[in-house]
């Protein structure tokens, strides 16, 4: 399936049903289909051929998201550009992709203006919401397609659907090539692994960026004829308002934003009974706060684990899997990433390429049609990531006797202290059980005696206070003295990436400078 086929499938169920809603304005499936046809025609008139790359640079916006399906209908390749990237990184990604068209919001015009002169392949610039002297306006762009008399509905070339940047937090950014088959597999896993309402189409609330997880999770919603409620900017109070107002059934947030939901003063007074599936992922979640979410938001929390190269659904944990048959919370599972999904094969690999038995720790590797085609124009990196015939995630973990996958760390984040391996995620989970701690990152710093010393950097909840000794004693009691932090730092905020992940490299650089 092409990306636009998910939209067309939903339209086949009810063309008059709401498809995209934002700021009180609703577009039906028929409206969105018609606009995708006009976008595709305008791209064809501009000379875009199947396989050409078209970039979209926008915050959450229903028209920008509709462009995704117009690009697909033209047979072109969607290249989402993260609006939070620095100009240099976006210039590098657009050059890597070889994009010929860029559709952007006026809010990012200064960024586009700064880099457009360095991108000779970028022939057409389209501004969604303003008239600029150096870019086509939206209405003029759509009108250019009126000369295309036949409806445009092209097949993709080589099944390539989208190219996604890895972010470039370490080294140069890479472009991940995802095919229609990859995204169809992801969608199938989503539909088979999580609950969906039987008596109505789903309603999905998109607060997280549509350029990332929130965007691809729309595809299973659309093919069930559901509606997407788009939030233009993160706002926890507005998020709770919309869950009630739209009777939202599905949503996704990274752990950092879920913590903010849990800390919102009005949470317990809200009616969240419509929720069926509240996905969390993109970073490890505190097990103590997850248990709090199960109690206060409801038995609807649903984990997913994946990465750009194997999108979203390497392993899954449905809401029911958070509980034992008795109805009690399955506390031992809360630290897991669920079980490997039905359409993926997951194994644990040693450094020599051998597969390890249950319970042993090693690198998590994956096979199946969920895995990317490769890195765009980077055969060396593709070969490295697929060594021994498996996709290498870079995550260290193990499978328990019940088949649950536990991720203990990123390989590069492991701390070696006194000759012992300390997995930072394990220490972070212990630190997060302290009631004063809102978030935490554990890193290893150079130490003459230990080689590396375990260092915990914490962000406190509003109004809370904490002494370093409290955390050191807590971790020592739970995990032993080797894993207890030798150094504790309290910061007002932790540095984060564009998608909310804590940047441990930045923390280490700041502490050793």
pLDDT for residue 427 is more than 80: yes
pLDDT tens-place string over residues 17-74:
999 999 999 999 999 999 999 999 999 999 999 999 999 999 999 999 999 999 999 9
Buried b (16+ CB within 10 A) or exposed e, 39-55: bbbbbbbbebeeebbbb
CA 69/CA 39 separation, integer angstroms:
9
SS3 of residue 467 by DSSP: coil
pLDDT for residue 316 is more than 50: yes
Structure tokens at 76: 């072109």
**What are the φ/ψ torsions at residue 173 (nearest 5 degrees)?**
-65, 150
pLDDT at 424: 85
Q: Which residue has the higher pLDDT, 497 or 406?
A: 406
Nearest residue to 229 (alpha-carbon basis) of 41, 27, 457, 385? 27
pLDDT for residue 167 is more than 60: no
**What are the φ/ψ torsions at residue 305 (nearest 5 degrees)?**
-135, 130
Region 299-320 average pLDDT: 96
Region 124-131 average pLDDT: 96
Of 70-84, 383-397, 423-437, the one with minimum mean pLDDT is 423-437
SS3 of residue 268 by DSSP: helix
Q: Which residue has the tokens 């976008």?
A: 39
CA 179/CA 202 separation, integer angstroms:
25
Structure tokens at 414: 């492991």
Region 428-454 average pLDDT: 89
**What are the φ/ψ torsions at residue 512 (nearest 5 degrees)?**
-95, -5
Specify whether the CB–CB gap between 385 and 392 falls below 8 A: yes
CA 52/CA 47 separation, integer angstroms:
9
**What are the φ/ψ torsions at residue 374 (nearest 5 degrees)?**
160, 180
Q: Going by C-beta distance under 8 Å and a sequence separation of 6 or more, which residues neighbour residue 197?
A: 249, 276
Nearest residue to 54 (alpha-carbon basis) of 16, 85, 99? 99
Mean residue pLDDT of the chain comes to 93
Q: Going by C-beta distance under 8 Å and a sequence separation of 6 or more, which residues neighbour residue 345?
A: 366, 367, 368
CA 189/CA 167 separation, integer angstroms:
25
Residue 106 exposed, middle or buried by CB count within 10 Å (0-12, 13-18, 19+): middle
pLDDT at 168: 44
**What are the φ/ψ torsions at residue 504 (nearest 5 degrees)?**
-65, -35
Specify whether the CB–CB gap between 447 and 510 falls below 8 A: no
pLDDT at 88: 85
* Domains, the chain, with CATH or none: 26-178 (3.40.50.980), 414-512 (3.30.300.30)
| Residue 335 per-residue DSSP state | T
pTM of the model: 0.86
Alpha carbon 87 to chain centroid, angstroms: 21
SS3 of residue 149 by DSSP: coil
Alpha carbon 161 to chain centroid, angstroms: 17
Region 438-443 average pLDDT: 91
Nearest residue to 62 (alpha-carbon basis) of 94, 17, 85, 31? 31
- Per-residue confidence band for 498, with pLDDT thresholds at 50, 70 and 90: low
CA 68/CA 47 separation, integer angstroms:
18
Q: Which residue has the higher pLDDT, 82 or 352?
A: 352
Nearest residue to 367 (alpha-carbon basis) of 394, 340, 403? 340
Looking at 117-258, which runs of residues are DSSP E strands? Answer: 124-127, 136-137, 160-165, 175-179, 203-206, 227-230, 250-253
Structure tokens at 384: 């490295």
Region 170-185 average pLDDT: 89
């Amino acid at each position: 399936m092409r990306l636009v086929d998910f939209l067309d499938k939903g339209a086949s169920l009810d063309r008059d049903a709401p498809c995209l809603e934002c700021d009180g304005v609703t577009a039906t499936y028929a409206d969105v289909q018609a606009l995708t046809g006009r976008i595709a025609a305008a791209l064809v008139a501009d000379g875009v051929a199947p396989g050409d790359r078209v970039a979209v640079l926008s915050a959450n916006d229903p028209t920008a998201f509709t462009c995704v399906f117009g690009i697909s209908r033209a047979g072109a390749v969607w290249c989402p550009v993260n609006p939070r990237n620095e100009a240099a990184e976006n210039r590098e990604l657009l050059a890597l992709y070889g994009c010929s068209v860029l559709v952007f919001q006026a809010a990012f015009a200064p960024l586009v203006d700064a880099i457009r002169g360095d991108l000779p392949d970028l022939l057409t610039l389209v501004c969604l919401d303003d008239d600029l002297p150096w870019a086509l306006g939206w209405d003029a762009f759509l009108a250019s397609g009126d000369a295309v008399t036949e409806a445009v509905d092209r097949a993709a070339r080589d099944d390539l659907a989208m190219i996604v940047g890895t972010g470039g937090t370490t080294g140069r950014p890479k472009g991940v090539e995802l095919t229609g088959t990859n995204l169809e597999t992801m969608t199938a896993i989503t539909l088979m692994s999580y609950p969906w309402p039987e008596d109505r189409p789903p309603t999905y609330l998109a607060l997280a960026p549509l350029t990332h997880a929130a965007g691809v999770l729309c595809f299973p919603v659309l093919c069930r004829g559901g509606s997407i409620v788009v939030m233009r900017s993160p706002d926890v109070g507005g998020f709770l308002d919309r869950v009630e107002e739209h009777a939202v059934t599905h949503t996704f947030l990274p752990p950092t934003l879920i913590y903010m939901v849990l800390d919102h003063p009005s949470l317990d007074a809200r009616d969240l009974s419509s929720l069926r599936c509240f996905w969390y992922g993109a970073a490890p979640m505190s097990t103590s706060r997850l248990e709090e979410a199960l109690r206060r938001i409801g038995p609807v929390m649903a984990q997913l684990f994946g990465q750009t190269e194997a999108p979203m659904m390497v392993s899954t944990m449905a809401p029911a899997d958070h509980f034992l048959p008795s109805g009690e919370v399955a506390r031992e599972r809360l630290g897991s990433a669920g079980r490997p999904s039905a359409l993926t094969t997951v194994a644990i690999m040693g450094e020599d390429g051998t597969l390890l038995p249950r319970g042993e720790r090693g690198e998590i590797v994956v096979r199946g049609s969920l895995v990317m085609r490769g890195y765009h124009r980077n055969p060396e990196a593709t070969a490295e990531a697929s060594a021994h015939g498996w996709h290498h995630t870079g995550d260290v973990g193990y499978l328990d006797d019940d088949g649950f996958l536990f991720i203990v760390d990123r390989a590069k984040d492991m701390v070696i202290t006194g000759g012992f391996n300390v997995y930072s995620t394990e220490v972070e989970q212990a630190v997060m059980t302290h009631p004063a701690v809102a978030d935490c990152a554990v890193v290893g710093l150079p130490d003459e005696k230990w080689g590396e010393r375990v260092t915990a950097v914490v962000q406190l909840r509003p109004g809370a206070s904490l002494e370093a000794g409290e955390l050191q004693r807590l971790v020592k009691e739970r995990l032993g003295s080797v894993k207890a932090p030798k150094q504790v730092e309290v910061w007002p905020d932790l540095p984060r990436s564009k998608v909310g992940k804590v940047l441990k490299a930045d923390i280490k650089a700041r502490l050793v400078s």
